[in-house]
Amino acid sequence: MDVVQALYELQEMEGDLQKSKADLAEVVSRLDHNEGVARSRDRSTRVNQAFTKLQLQQSELDVDVQETTDRLKELEQQLYSGNTAASKDLLALQHEIKFTKEKQSGLEEKLLEKMERVEAGQKAVATIDAELAAAESAYENEIPTLQEQQQELELHAKDVAAAYQTAETAVDASDLKTYRLLQKSKGMAIAKVERGMCSGCTIAVPSHELQKLRTTTTPMRCSSCGRFLFSPVG
């Protein structure tokens, strides 16, 4: 096989390996972490915390209302028992009853508002929990496909790596050294000749060189960028 062609194939395999590794990393990260699920979970935590707080506030108000109602009952019993004879005490009692009634109705109003907010909170919790469940199930459905992709990519990378090793040993050591040096300085060592141009530097290859490239088996390098020139037509 032509040296340049062999090196070009190495270069292609290197590109393939790089892409497979990047794809594999992407698949592994998607298996490891699902953005949709994570976001839903965060929202669910926040909404549930707010709901728990509302419930607590409601039960505190419940207790306050109950205490005020009990107190009112006590005061009214006192009033109707007839035990409070002195008009001064009676007046104070009536005052306290009035005050307690006002307090009771104020608390009841607050409780009603709180109950409405609890109800709305309950709906919000149900919505977000349904969203979370949907996101989780979508993710779970995605897992087998991702695992399959992971397996395929791992297998492919293994195959390419093995083929690469074989191909690498077939290339002459000094050619390989030149290739590596070019790769280090230019990123890409072998440039395809496309429409008479070096694809590495996009400068036209002189026609006499193009002609030579078609017939020779000796590696030729671009006179502008120094990359090995590869003409796939041969």
SS3 assignment, position 188: coil
Q: What are phi and psi of 128, to 5 degrees?
A: -65, -35
Shortest Å distance, C-beta 187 to Zn ion: 13
Shortest Å distance, C-beta 180 to Zn ion: 18
CB-based contact 213:193 (threshold 8 Å): yes
Distance CA 123, CA 158 (A): 52
Of 198, 213, 221, 228, the one binding Zn ion by CB under 5 A? 198
Distance CA 109, CA 126 (A): 26
* Residue 193 near Zn ion by CB under 5 A: no
Shortest Å distance, C-beta 146 to Zn ion: 41
* Residue 4 near Zn ion by CB under 5 A: no
* Residue 204 near Zn ion by CB under 5 A: no
Of 62, 124, 225, 231, the one binding Zn ion by CB under 5 A? 225
Distance CA 209, CA 134 (A): 63
* Residue 190 near Zn ion by CB under 5 A: no
* Region label for 187, one of left (φ > 0), alpha (ψ between -120 and 50) or beta (otherwise): left
Shortest Å distance, C-beta 4 to Zn ion: 13
Of 6, 10, 47, 222, the one binding Zn ion by CB under 5 A? 222
Select 148 or 194, whichever has its Cβ closest to Zn ion. Answer: 194
Of 200, 209, 213, 221, the one binding Zn ion by CB under 5 A? 200
Strands 197-198 and 228-230: unpaired
Shortest Å distance, C-beta 202 to Zn ion: 8
Residue spans of beta strands (DSSP E) within the chain: 190-194, 197-198, 228-230
Stretch that binds Zn ion, among 23-31, 128-136, 164-172, 224-232 (CB under 5 A): 224-232
Shortest Å distance, C-beta 34 to Zn ion: 45
CB-based contact 175:183 (threshold 8 Å): no
* Residue 121 near Zn ion by CB under 5 A: no
Beta-ladder partners of 190: 228
Which residues of this protein are in contact with Zn ion, per CB under 5 A? Answer: 198, 200-201, 222, 224-225
